[in-house]
Chain A
């Protein structure tokens, strides 16, 4: 399967702490994306990192990519209660099909 796997499945932290989520995948990629989903809602795109990039920042988000280990991490700094959501990684294959392969998600709970 090309589907990614997030780790941990669930994470609970206090407001103000940092949250780190990891994603592992099995095949070569063109890019890897992170999405957020609030309960019962659609997904919202957070950040995209291409296979030739190693780190990317967007506001309080920091994403790293290690293609040799086929893994990525998402760091949310100074977490807020509003960050409570599920976070999914999605991989885009190098060529061919124009669709993404989503992981199973990490459920983040930020306690006020």
Chain B
């Protein structure tokens, strides 16, 4: 059963804590992305990675960090430096066979709430 999984579905964070959101895909896609979605808003790109051990900042990277040690995995850490982290976080992946990007495949999302 191919696809993208994100965990956890819901995450609560105390102020000053770092938290890590998981994203795994078994689609054999090269590119992976992290987006943030605020209520009633569109998606804003946080980070993306086109290849293992390489990633690029998106429009709102401040306060976030990522790693890409394996092709299948692209975890996102929300650090204490992110002042307003409460949001819905979406992970996506796509092939690089066609450039510019074609279809992106999305995970189910993680809702992060700061207490």
Interface residue ranges, A against B (CB under 8 Å): 3, 30-31, 33, 35, 40-45, 48, 88, 90, 92-100, 102-105
Contacts and interface: CB of A to CB of B under 8 A. Distances in A.
B1 interface: no
B109 A41 contact: yes
Contacts of A102: 35, 42-44
Interface string B76-96: 000000000000101010101
Nearest to A44: B106
Interface residues of B, number: 32
A42 B48 contact: no
B109 A3 contact: no
A3 B37 CA distance: 14
Contacts of B53: none
B41 A99 contact: no
3 nearest CB pairs, A to B:
A42-B106, A102-B43, A104-B42
Interface in B87-115: 88, 90, 92, 94, 96, 99-109, 111
Nearest to B99: A98
Given A43-B92, A97-B56, A98-B99, 9 more contacts: A33-B103, A98-B48, A98-B96, A98-B101, A99-B33, A99-B48, A99-B101, A104-B42, A105-B42
B31 interface: yes
Interface of B: 4, 6, 31, 33, 35, 40-45, 48, 50, 56, 58, 88, 90, 92, 94, 96, 99-109, 111
Given A40-B111, A41-B108, A94 B102 contact: no
A31 B102 contact: yes
Contacts of A88: 42-43
A42 B90 contact: yes
B107 A42 contact: yes
A98 B31 contact: yes
A95 B106 contact: no
29 contacts: A30-B100, A31-B100, A31-B102, A40-B109, A41-B108, A41-B109, A42-B4, A43-B92, A43-B104, A43-B106, A44-B106, A45-B103, A48-B103, A88-B42, A92-B100, A92-B101, A96-B100, A97-B56, A98-B96, A98-B100, A99-B48, A99-B58, A100-B101, A100-B104, A102-B35, A102-B44, A104-B40, A104-B42, A105-B41
